[in-house]
Structure 1
Amino acid sequence: MSKNSVFLLFFYAWCDVVLGVVLPGSSPGSIVLHNNGREKIYENVIGNKDGFGRSLISVNGASALHVSSRYDYYYTLVVEEGGVLVDCAYFDVRNSYNGVRASGGVCGLSKPLNSDYDEIAQVYSNEWRSSIFSFDTREVIESGEGRDFLLGRIGEVEIFDRYVSADALENALPQKIIRSRSGCFNFREAVGFPVLLDKNESGFLYLDVLRSEEPMLLQRMGEQDLKDIAVEKCP
């Protein structure tokens, strides 16, 4: 099976999980769930709030929410028992402590959608900035030479952020690198979101790779998917 076929299977599998249709509501800031002939209105979930812009988008063809200010936060939605739940929360931010880009996600949240949903990814991003993305970047700044920083593992596959130069660090533009026993792979300019499951302390389970921004398409890659491509010679 080709890699494109694998991606399409994942794409349609993700879409099939979502039941019902979520559309903008008639009142400002609202969205409406249309499900089995019924409607459920959620107030104050889109539009501006406290300096954040919030909009209804799609991720892999399914309804999702995008919250933007200086940084970007994304929330995928699922419908269960006639209501909308937040399934995954992604963040793409910058760490003020060391200047690095911090991108990641937490799935399996199953949190009922309400007007405060936009705080979910912000909480996780703050936690990750003080832990996973808290590595020391002084060597890159002082020497100007690039370096790989280990973020964690998906099974036997290691995930790194590579800053090729001080300029890349200054502009928060890492390259996502994976390394297995067979070799390496560089995703280069593609944004990768390492993903944890909520309350799972065993480490990352997936790398969700951003393949398109409009519409937003994420390619979910597990350990075996990453092993299949991590066969290039490591530098």
Structure 2
Amino acid sequence: MNFKLCVAMSLLSFTLADCVSAQQLSSQQDIYVVNQKAKNLTVSWSGGSKTVEGVVGSQGETTKALVTFDGKKALRYENLASSSAFEAYFTLVRHGNDIFVDCIYTNVRNNQNGMLINKAVCGLEKPLIEDYEDLVYEFTDEWKNSTAEIDLDPLLKTPPAPLEVEEADFGNVKLSRIYKTQEDLSSSVPETVINNGSKKYSFGMGLVFPVYRFGNLSSPAYLEVSAGDSSKKFIRYDAASLSELL
């Protein structure tokens, strides 16, 4: 935005300071470009750029692609070789001249019983390298182990009875997934609810992620809920705002 245009805009509804701010914001935006043939990602900004090799592309039954997720640039990793659905999103952030993985969001099934694992961990600050996808297994292995012993008998009855599995604790508010049919263990998504005693609120069958801070996988820091389009910024709830829903 040049000076003459800024002055013209200021005569309408903008001040000159607004124009300067807009110019600075534009210059600070990072540009992400994928080279599919070379399988690399280049991030450019005013004054520099960084290329990371081998972080996108397909090989065998795995796919890595640049997407927008939760309003941020992210790398989507899908492993079709897994015996159950395995998808993860790695949101990216730049600090200085380097690119880092900030958060990992998982859309994974326990390969023993089909329990859905929609969870996330943030504050990783791990450098983006070729084998970045290996980061996710530290968390998914633990989360799968925690759901391995859940009794599925209610869903195996005829007719099936709903199975409510408590997943996270936000103080007085508990988060659960309700599996109503056997399909909820494979091809469909269980209902996600929060409750405090008899009070209950449903988020429906959308993407709902308890988000943990790196180093503390026992207590979620907050909850993030997609409004339907996962590329858009998620709605964030802390313990207090979750209580207000009940």
TM-score, normalization by structure 1: 0.81
- 1:127 pairs, out of 131, 142, 155, with 142
Aligned to 2:239: 223
Report the Cα offset of residue 134 of structure 1.
4.3
Deviations 1:168-207 (CA, angstroms, capped at 9, x unpaired): 3354521111012582111111121111111025511122
Q: How many residues get paired?
A: 213
Contact 1:19 1:78 in 2 (8 A): no
2:157 corresponds to 1:142: yes
Contact 1:86 1:112 in 2 (8 A): yes
**Cα distance, 1:80–1:101 mapped onto 2, change above 3 Å:** same
1:203 partner letter? S
Aligned to 2:202: 186
Q: Distance in 2 between matches of 1:161 and 1:26?
A: 38
Aligned to 1:61: 71
* Superposed structure 1 runs of 4+ greater than 6 Å apart: none
Aligned to 1:78: 93
Which secondary structure does the structure 1 equivalent of 2:157 belong to? helix
Q: Distance in 1 between matches of 2:87 and 2:233?
A: 15
**Cα distance, 1:26–1:204 mapped onto 2, change above 3 Å:** closer
Aligned to 1:49: 59
Q: Distance in 2 between matches of 1:177 and 1:34?
A: 41
Gaps of 5+ in 2: 1-27, 81-85
Gaps of 5+ in 1: 1-17
1:129 partner letter? K
Aligned to 2:39: 29
Report the Cα offset of residue 50 of structure 1.
4.3
Q: Distance in 2 between matches of 1:164 and 1:211?
A: 22
Contact 1:29 1:46 in 2 (8 A): yes
1:142 partner letter? K
Contact 1:97 1:134 in 2 (8 A): no
Contact 2:107 2:118 in 1 (8 A): yes
2:117 corresponds to 1:102: yes
2:126 corresponds to 1:116: no
2:215 corresponds to 1:205: no
Aligned to 2:10: none
Contact 1:66 1:75 in 2 (8 A): yes
Report the Cα offset of residue 228 of structure 1.
1.6
Cα RMSD of the aligned pairs, angstroms, is 2.3
2:113 partner letter? N
1:223 partner letter? A
Q: Distance in 1 between matches of 2:182 and 2:236?
A: 30
**Cα distance, 1:34–1:204 mapped onto 2, change above 3 Å:** same
2:207 partner letter? V
Which secondary structure does the structure 1 equivalent of 2:138 belong to? helix
Which secondary structure does the structure 1 equivalent of 2:136 belong to? helix
TM-score, normalization by structure 2: 0.78
Considering only CA atoms, is the larger Rg found in Structure 1 or Structure 2? Answer: 2
Report the Cα offset of residue 209 of structure 1.
1.4
Contact 2:36 2:56 in 1 (8 A): no
1:155 partner letter? G
Q: Distance in 2 between matches of 1:153 and 1:26?
A: 42
2:106 corresponds to 1:91: yes
